[in-house]
Amino acid sequence: MERQPCVYILASGRVGTIYIGVTSDLIARLHQHRAGTVPWFTSKYSVDRLVRFELFGTMEQAIAREKRLKRWRREWKLNLIESDNPDWLDLAVGLGFEAPRLDVRKSGC
């Protein structure tokens, strides 16, 4: 995947903690989140599974979408994720990342 403005949603597990972010390089950002190299919210709460992403033509469009999504109610965010990813699969696997290890604390069961 080449560099392109993107809004992405990470989750700690099915219906767990979610994080919405924006980047122009999704692959590099996913590496940062998964490695926990920066002490962000996502590393503190083990939010590392890519459950949704949307590509945009410009960074301005992506930032505007991110801001809108962050204002949404949690229920709306969950419905958005499940509209395209009902099983909460880690979409990063399709981008070349290893499948996450099963962690029962994050399974949401």
pTM, to two decimals:
0.86
pLDDT for 2: 65
What is the residue-level pLDDT of the chain in tens, covering all 109 positions?
Answer: 567 999 999 998 887 899 999 999 999 999 988 887 767 777 777 788 999 999 999 999 999 999 999 999 999 999 999 999 999 999 999 999 988 765 544 444 3
Q: Which of 46, 9, 40, 8 is nearest to 24 (CA)?
A: 8
How many Cβ atoms are within 10 Å of 24's Cβ, its own excluded?
14
Can you spell out the DSSP letters for 85-103? Answer: -TT---GGGGGTPPPPPP-
Question: Domain ranges in the chain?
Answer: 6-103
CATH 3.40.1350 fits 6-103, yes or no: no
pLDDT for 43: 72
58/41 Cα distance (integer angstroms)? 26
